[in-house]
Amino acid sequence: MERIVEPERQIVFRVPWVDDKGEIHVNRGFRIEFNSALGPYKGGLRFHPSVNFGVIKFLGFEQIFKNSLTDLPIGGAKGGADFDPKGKSDKEIMLFCQSFMTELYRHLGENTDVPAGDIGVGSREIGYLFGQYKRITNKFEAGVITGKGLRYGGSSVRTEATGYGLVFFVDEMLKTINETFEGKTCVVSGSGNVAIYTVEKIHQLGGKVIAVSDSDGYIYDKEGIDLDLLKQLKEVERRRIKDYIPYHKQAIYKPNGNIWEIPCDIALPCATQNELDENDAESLVKNGVIAIAEGANMPCTPAAIRVFEKAKVLFGPGKAANGGGVATSALEMEQNAGKTRWDFEYTENKLKKIMQGIFRRCSQAAIEYGFPNNYIVGAN
Ligand code: NDP
């Protein structure tokens, strides 16, 4: 216990950068290399104004156990900066990423520490970070960062992995009560990487997602979220979720609305930590929810989790349910090491097997320790 709660290394550094008006800004960068018992440090980078040591530390701690649950050879880490990417130009993002990597690169390596994306860090940012690493070290060391573009060492299915993996995990939970996604109504919070691909896989499996959100509010579309439009707005144009409304007259936008008030069969929090509290849990249970799983890291408060446990609804904890992202990152490292590339179908199949394995380990451990169907105990 004493050894596992103490990070092996904690790094904090200055990130100076210049905006489009020529003004200088200074942000703070972090990397916590928490545990390397099982392999090189592995975990994402988060760019969000709320980032501080506490946030990176809890995420890094969770990451150790999540990575271990995948059964792949990866240690646990997390990093990021208190930088707000919202409203920044491409050039500003590039300059920030280059400055960030100018400090961080000395701590990284394909056998040392391998970051990836998280909130505010997608394939654009990974591209800028990798480019700067390559420039400084004069090495095309693809395995040093994951979530890369497909043309320069990225893995197919990495973009989709966390969302798809979450849905595969929930599908396994549903099987235990002889249910499937077919015909189920789902609510997914957030509208970033995890949320979008959660929606995509649910729709492929015959479920219907009726609401998604961002930090300004949520949209409710009783006909089911239009996924192509969602991708266009969020991934291509980087707009707000309210911009969905002009395209679909039947949809409703609720600024600052609480998405968990919407009745649904399956609720999947995919935005951020502590986004679903005790009251939200009670209203979900009252409205007949049958399953909840955490796409985000620790989105449900401990009090909310107690409500779900008491109501005996299925609950998938993040460290198990959202492990598909990091697992596919490990598959990306494996492809980079072998200088090879797998196709979409093969990689998705691997991801599915990994998620089934995570579920099986949680389920069996829960039984072994006398808490059948308690996937939190099982995962821990
Ligand atoms: P993105 O940046 O792509 O999307 C985050 C989404 O959550 C956005 O819609 C954002 O809205 C919303 N959001 C962020 N912060 C807040 C907040 N404080 N309040 C309300 N909404 C908020 O990030 P990801 O989709 O990659 O990550 C989402 C969650 O999933 C995080 O908890 C992350 O740690 C976890 N995760 C991600 C993995 C991955 O592979 N990407 C892997 C495993 C877990 P807005 O644009 O308004 O900020």
Determine the pLDDT at residue 131: 98
What is the model's pLDDT at position 118?
Answer: 96
Q: Label residue 252 by pLDDT band (50, 70, 90).
A: very high
Predicted pLDDT at 89: 97
Query: What pLDDT is stored for residue 140 in this prediction?
Result: 96
Interval 191-248: pLDDT, tens:
999 999 999 999 999 999 999 999 999 999 999 999 999 999 999 999 999 999 999 9
Q: What is the 97 CA–ligand 1 centroid distance (Å)?
A: 19
- The band of 31, judged by pLDDT with boundaries at 50, 70 and 90, is very high
Q: pLDDT, tens digit, for every residue of 99-111?
A: 999 999 999 999 9
pLDDT of residue 214: 97
- Reported as a single tens digit per residue, the pLDDT across 150-185 is 999 999 999 999 999 999 999 999 999 999 999 999
> Which residues are annotated as catalytic?
78
Q: Which residue has the tokens 């491409």?
A: 90
192 CA to centre of ligand 1 in angstroms: 6
CA of 91 relative to ligand 1 center, distance in Å: 22
Give, for 217, the enclosing helix (H) or strand (E). Answer: strand 217-220
**Max Cα-Cα span within the chain:** 61
pLDDT tens digits, one per residue of 326-379: 999 999 999 999 999 999 999 999 999 999 999 999 999 999 999 999 999 999
Distance 82 CA to ligand 1 centre (A): 15
Ligand 1, pocket-test mutation among 47, 124, 214, most atoms within 8 A of CB: 214
Query: Would you say 29 and 99 are in contact if contact means Cβ atoms under 8 Å apart?
Result: no
In this prediction, residue 47 carries a pLDDT of 98
Q: What is the mean pLDDT of the chain?
A: 97
Residues flanking ligand 1, CB < 6 Å: 117-120, 162, 190-195, 214-216, 270-272, 295-297, 322, 325
**Which residues are 43's β-sheet partners?**
115
65-76: b or e for each residue (b if 16 or more CB lie within 10 Å)?
bbbbbbebebbb
DSSP string computed for 258-308: -GGGS--SEEE--S-TT-B-HHHHHHHHHTT--EEE-SSSS-B-HHHHHHH
Burial class (CB in 10 A: 0-12, 13-18, 19+), 175: exposed
Segment 137-158 shows an average pLDDT of: 97
- For 377, half-sphere exposure in the C-beta direction (CA atoms, 13 angstrom radius) is 14
Helix (H) or strand (E) holding 351: helix 344-368
Residue 160: the pLDDT is: 97
Q: What is the pLDDT of residue 311?
A: 97
Q: Which of 118, 146, 200 to mutate to test the pocket of ligand 1 (most atoms within 8 A of CB)?
A: 118
- Sorting pLDDT into bands at 50, 70 and 90, what band is 260? very high
pLDDT at 97: 98
pLDDT tens digits for range 279-338: 999 999 999 999 999 999 999 999 999 999 999 999 999 999 999 999 999 999 999 999
Q: SS in 3 state form for 299-347? A: CECHHHHHHHHHHCCEEECHHHHCCHHHHHHHHHHHHHHCCCCCCHHHH
Ligand 1 pocket test, candidate residues 45, 67, 194, 253, most atoms within 8 A of CB: 194
The distance from CA 32 to its chain's CA centroid, rounded to whole angstroms, is 18
